[in-house]
Structure 1
């Protein structure tokens, strides 16, 4: 057995909860005067990235591995190196121009806990709404964290709520910040796609400084990225004032691709010895913007357009802006030679704002013409209202305070009992900010009246900006909550070969109740080459404030030409209560894992881990329901009518599910022709089944959880993922060849099961029922040359063979409703559709 022992608080997780930074096992000083040995696991540069001495599977990814490729976002880089991690692409879905759902093992974004230096990181203030992977789940914004600031990443693929609390159902991702000193590192990278767009300039700089002579340090990271957008849309047949509909447009008017974006961040990591202890702090600031797109509004869509302003139609734009702030401060030290403590406070804040551009509120001109029927075209254009403005935003902040004490207890055996006890307090705040009046108003007077559209009196003009209808004052909301937790973690060696650990945690939320959960994990080493490991745990996830506090109005038109408002109702208000949903409860889970670690030879190692995650009362955002949908309940119909909306939805604990699968990692390293050669295979298989729909008696299951939601849960993420990576390093040359396999995704969104169209509209006589993204293998290649002691040149290509999803056919709904403009699907895209990208990077170190 190794002389190192796992940290007592996170024995199954294999990195210290109380550590302000993760340190390399080989670099950690052994303090002979202490009986307890603390060790944290860091990503190594060798091929095997799994901690073979842990009772739970962990991916260890070094910063060098994260930077082997042209990826400039943390989420993209993790997806290429950790197959159980998914970073789905979604197009034309509001805020997803800036954030993407980051998931483990096919579960929701908010079922994975993210830590920085072992401390809980705050979630984002927004979630996807428009038929996306992770809809209704506010996870952690992985793209807010710069790659330059990282020393390594640990990905725990097992339930860890007993160690870390709410959200750790699917696993834990710990981001370890750089703590080096005396070295300046950085890079400048430029790249683009083979289509000639998406040009991206990225630059990063890192420098650490010693503080005093006792081991203190501060490490600073700065990163900047400026990316042009990409567009894979094609010419459309929507027509214009001078071109008959059905005729192919001269130019590409729609947009399907990545948004034009900009990213700036500054992070720091520091520690300063003080007496018998150490003061530490870390945190950062990031700002990102992205100019996204909506669907093109055709010239003859009279309810949406005013031809006196946009004679040929228009492409509405959405300017997304995100700010993220975090700071952690803590002090740790020794109580005596056997016990130590760590007290810390972490504050995090995330805000998203949306500004509409190149848009219109058609009801402004409609009201003007209604009151001035003889108005000229010039007068109509002059009184059509603004072409853009602020559409609203979201705010979320979180403060977490922890006290941890860990040490050893003599139990009369050769091996003591390693113990950690701790307490946590957390305070959270959530706010919805309304948009400018023009972004949501019904006419300049903003009344309940509806007005015939300017260009077709048989239609009524829509209210609010096109593409991102503004957040109404009625939807503004401020909510808060607090929670506290107590936990204990113990570990010991039963024999020299048998390790057992256990954890208990009690946690109470002011708005969602309390729970007592636990974990038992074990590892048995048959010999130096073969060991088995397993764990069973219970867990939970409290509903987020983003779920319990979210409410919003949108305005649409009904089939009778009257204004149709859609409303998301707070859980516990009249409408969801009439359908049996009075509050949001805790999600609860049971995790099982079992696997083995086998060093086949000194060069070849293999880990295989099976898992099963049973989740009860999963929280989902339901589909919009009309009075016809809830006609079985007079109370629900009355509640819906009382809101003033024609259709509404809400969050609920709607389903029970089971996700099971297997992770396989094989690593081989040897010497070839005087160089180091390595091969790593990492694969994940997972499958999610819906066990039960939690609908009250008399409530149809389709009301609580419909087929559209089900398709994203079970088929929206690849059930098979694998990477095969070849590394070779010799003298001044290093090369990496990586094969990325993505399994198929298949959802009902933008299929005929979502938008039902008559078959006679399709040249084939029918439309496909679902939207499918086929399985694919993407190949990445990177070659680097060490020019001298300071500079390194790296060139490469991601997706060398230009793999993209199959193009849409005439029998697909999305092709029809975009008049042939969209070339590819826009939902459940695990690998996107940009195709081949090239890059060149100059790195330096001195």
Structure 2
């Protein structure tokens, strides 16, 4: 039964990752037995493959390595371990305080497939909006999965759509859940920043029990995290009811620039039991996360946004985010005969995301009251100004996936048999937009079709809906659904003793966007016992998500001159995009080429170098917000925009053909030093994305289909160079780690003057910087651990020990001007953030 379990897991994840052996690309300490188990789980169908045999690059990161650096979130841990993985920070971006875009090789979050135990994980219900890395892409919420539940993480850095379907253009991340029994382990950790804020603590517990006498088990994981927010904002020059704007700094810090207050609760399980000669398995979990984020400070003199009878000195609107994630998988696997196995599975996942506005106001309530009661006193206006908090709406996404997978061996009489996997998949998806309460979106308490003159200035109309996150209107609410089915065939054999060849084909059909047939060829040739060449060529695709094809909402965005404006995202095929030549969304298609080598000159040294090229056609983007002036070449578009009631609008389209290419280098070395063991790992990534062409419909200018703002995020929003150098040393009861993380520069138009368009005379230097830059940097982390016994250890860590942050904003930065000097740092395309130095202390225990 033990051998069968390993083979069953091979089937479950082998189908996901294709017929590839797996190379361990990390210097994790592991016994020989643990190494063999890890390789089996990652899917080779050839039992005599070694740890460095692979046709495509795969990283394996153990749970111990993920938690060594003091990180409590999965995304942060992966960013520190896998250079081609990016986890950008985003500040003040329409309530997106709970999720961050997780990307591979500089592509979009939804172009990476995420699996748990080899089964497709559902995507999140929401995505980053305009002006963020990964804008418009609803990827997988990596931070919804507790670290305590993971045994290891495998990252396949190669296109795998032919093996597992849509979303796997950039690669695959597989999360393996723990399956241990008869041991309980856990941790308690606390930390803070060098500035004295951001206090946080977390605790986790994992335990397992045997089920029956045939290797069955159930493993349970619980994790809780609580973190105070951080704030790097400064006193501002925005003025108040008693101090004119621009005349003096505020008495206190009123803006907020930093991490949100947050809380995380989760429970995951992983189980298997024998049913006769078969295995019945199940896994899943639940997590709930909340975060209290912020918008921009509303100045006291902004007539459209402020009701002085309620907020005489202005106010900071806050956005309460709540995300709930639920998943459950069940399946039956077993031997058909000595050579063939089957796996039948069903997976259900749901993500719910809700917004509450707090410390806000709908200025049109007071405006309507004063319009109908022109002699009203300040007290009466305040009493009839409507609520200052309420539900702004939410999003729902659920996915059900059914798989039938068969794998086995065909003996052709050659020296090596053909290893075969084939099967089918059916997937059903549902998406829903939930409207907010009346005050969150309405124009006045009567929900009029027009706004009213503000209570401060009759020449200015009051804004409708809550400030910071206007509620989702009933006409935006609705549901959408679709289904897809797929068939695949996956083959692998050794043509010669030293030459492995793999091939895969997959046909997939989506009810709303069409079908495609894609394929992959992979090969590896062992030139010598210590040197091998490997490579793959494949085609791929990604279907537009329901979140892209069915999303619509009103938001508040920064427009020309730094003014906050009402904005609208139109659904695909609605009047506004149709007027600009976009009637629907279609499949993205890709071509992926990789070529590299593996060098093992000694037992202690391993080097892998892999070059890649990814060409994507009809890439889906969320367009920049367009005003009536931007589309004045089309009277139909101007009319459609006016009908939305918003000042600017955007939409999704297949606007781009792009090429991404780069190189991954990983070097690992093991040595004895001063009576201890030193493991050294260098991992580097060079990556560049170029726009090949813009798919502008006939008669539509290219800068409408894809403007400079979108281009900058696609090509320069993520570091083009990333590297980590890790020294892991252990001796007796001591263990120490030093890691240097290098992040290349990012440079985007958002919040630069090419986006804001401020006249130069407003700057003390006579001009404003055209773009927003986050400089290249090296962050160094240190962690020291002492084992009192085999069951108890303590560790202390310092992350970013040299307190590195981006360069502070100067007087020639538009963001400095529009925040009245409140913000210290850029707030977009931040690969390493601006919290500075952080400290952690942790207790690990087992019993």
TM-score, with structure 2 as normaliser: 0.95
Q: Secondary structure at the match of 2:836?
A: coil
Contact kept in structure 1, 2:476 and 2:553, CA below 8 Å: yes
Equivalence for 1:378: 379
Q: How far off is 1:644 after superposition?
A: 4.5
Q: Secondary structure at the match of 1:718?
A: coil
CA distance in 2 between counterparts of 1:208 and 1:233 reads: 46
- Cα deviation 1:670-698 (Å, max 9, x = unaligned): 11122111110000000000000001221
Equivalence for 2:340: 339
CA distance in 1 between counterparts of 2:18 and 2:308 reads: 66
Equivalence for 2:33: 26
**Counterparts of 1:50-61 in structure 2 under 5 Å?**
52-61=52-61
Equivalence for 2:211: 211
Q: Secondary structure at the match of 1:401?
A: strand
Q: 1:24 to 1:212 in 2, by over 3 A?
A: farther
CA distance in 2 between counterparts of 1:564 and 1:169 reads: 36
Contact kept in structure 1, 2:361 and 2:388, CA below 8 Å: yes
Contact kept in structure 1, 2:62 and 2:152, CA below 8 Å: yes
Q: How far off is 1:272 after superposition?
A: 0.4
Q: 1:42 to 1:502 in 2, by over 3 A?
A: closer
Q: Secondary structure at the match of 1:408?
A: strand
Equivalence for 2:365: 364
CA distance in 1 between counterparts of 2:327 and 2:558 reads: 42
Equivalence for 2:457: 456
Q: 1:634 to 1:303 in 2, by over 3 A?
A: closer
Q: Secondary structure at the match of 1:258?
A: coil
Equivalence for 1:433: 434
**Counterparts of 1:404-483 in structure 2 under 5 Å?**
404-483=405-484
CA distance in 2 between counterparts of 1:412 and 1:321 reads: 59
CA distance in 2 between counterparts of 1:824 and 1:370 reads: 42
Q: How far off is 1:638 after superposition?
A: 3.8
Q: 1:95 to 1:643 in 2, by over 3 A?
A: closer
- Cα deviation 1:254-286 (Å, max 9, x = unaligned): 000000000000000000011111000000000
Q: Secondary structure at the match of 1:336?
A: coil
Q: How far off is 1:377 after superposition?
A: 1.1
Q: How far off is 1:539 after superposition?
A: 0.2
**Size of the alignment, in residue pairs?**
822
Equivalence for 1:833: 834
Q: How far off is 1:796 after superposition?
A: 0.8
Q: 1:209 to 1:555 in 2, by over 3 A?
A: closer
CA distance in 2 between counterparts of 1:819 and 1:109 reads: 33
Contact kept in structure 2, 1:42 and 1:61, CA below 8 Å: no
Q: 1:379 to 1:683 in 2, by over 3 A?
A: same
Equivalence for 2:324: 323
Q: 1:642 to 1:463 in 2, by over 3 A?
A: closer
Q: 1:808 to 1:339 in 2, by over 3 A?
A: same
Contact kept in structure 2, 1:508 and 1:515, CA below 8 Å: yes
Equivalence for 1:93: 93
CA distance in 1 between counterparts of 2:799 and 2:39 reads: 39
**Counterparts of 1:336-735 in structure 2 under 5 Å?**
336-554=337-555, 566-735=567-736
Q: How far off is 1:41 after superposition?
A: 3.5
Equivalence for 1:192: 192
Contact kept in structure 1, 2:355 and 2:394, CA below 8 Å: yes
Q: How far off is 1:38 after superposition?
A: 9.1
CA distance in 1 between counterparts of 2:517 and 2:288 reads: 38
In structure 1, the gaps of 5 or more residues are 17-22, 31-36, 44-49
CA distance in 2 between counterparts of 1:501 and 1:132 reads: 38
CA distance in 1 between counterparts of 2:815 and 2:730 reads: 47
Contact kept in structure 2, 1:42 and 1:152, CA below 8 Å: no
**Counterparts of 1:158-169 in structure 2 under 5 Å?**
158-169=158-169
Contact kept in structure 1, 2:724 and 2:739, CA below 8 Å: yes
Q: 1:90 to 1:590 in 2, by over 3 A?
A: same
CA distance in 2 between counterparts of 1:460 and 1:24 reads: 70
Equivalence for 1:172: 172
**Counterparts of 1:85-164 in structure 2 under 5 Å?**
85-164=85-164
Contact kept in structure 1, 2:720 and 2:744, CA below 8 Å: yes
- Cα deviation 1:138-157 (Å, max 9, x = unaligned): 00000000000000000000
More deviation in 235-244 or 684-693?
Answer: 235-244
Q: How far off is 1:29 after superposition?
A: 9.1
Q: How far off is 1:130 after superposition?
A: 3.5
Contact kept in structure 1, 2:21 and 2:39, CA below 8 Å: no
Q: Secondary structure at the match of 2:632?
A: coil
CA distance in 2 between counterparts of 1:520 and 1:638 reads: 51
More deviation in 394-403 or 574-583?
Answer: 574-583
Q: Secondary structure at the match of 2:761?
A: helix
Q: 1:795 to 1:373 in 2, by over 3 A?
A: same
Q: How far off is 1:600 after superposition?
A: 2.2
TM-score, with structure 1 as normaliser: 0.95
Contact kept in structure 2, 1:316 and 1:356, CA below 8 Å: yes
Equivalence for 1:19: none
Contact kept in structure 1, 2:451 and 2:461, CA below 8 Å: yes
Contact kept in structure 2, 1:51 and 1:59, CA below 8 Å: no
Contact kept in structure 1, 2:18 and 2:43, CA below 8 Å: no
Contact kept in structure 2, 1:14 and 1:40, CA below 8 Å: no
More deviation in 445-454 or 185-194?
Answer: 445-454
Q: 1:25 to 1:324 in 2, by over 3 A?
A: farther
Q: 1:317 to 1:845 in 2, by over 3 A?
A: same
CA distance in 1 between counterparts of 2:557 and 2:708 reads: 23
CA distance in 2 between counterparts of 1:649 and 1:38 reads: 46
Contact kept in structure 1, 2:20 and 2:43, CA below 8 Å: no
**Counterparts of 1:211-230 in structure 2 under 5 Å?**
211-230=211-230
CA distance in 2 between counterparts of 1:552 and 1:314 reads: 24
1:843 aligns with 2:844: yes
Q: Secondary structure at the match of 1:238?
A: coil
Q: 1:38 to 1:83 in 2, by over 3 A?
A: closer
- Cα deviation 1:168-197 (Å, max 9, x = unaligned): 000000000000001111000010000000
CA distance in 2 between counterparts of 1:187 and 1:293 reads: 31
CA distance in 2 between counterparts of 1:823 and 1:28 reads: 47
Equivalence for 1:47: none
Q: 1:51 to 1:169 in 2, by over 3 A?
A: farther
Q: 1:201 to 1:632 in 2, by over 3 A?
A: same
Q: How far off is 1:631 after superposition?
A: 2.5
**Counterparts of 1:3-42 in structure 2 under 5 Å?**
9=15, 10-14=17-21, 26=33, 39-41=40-42
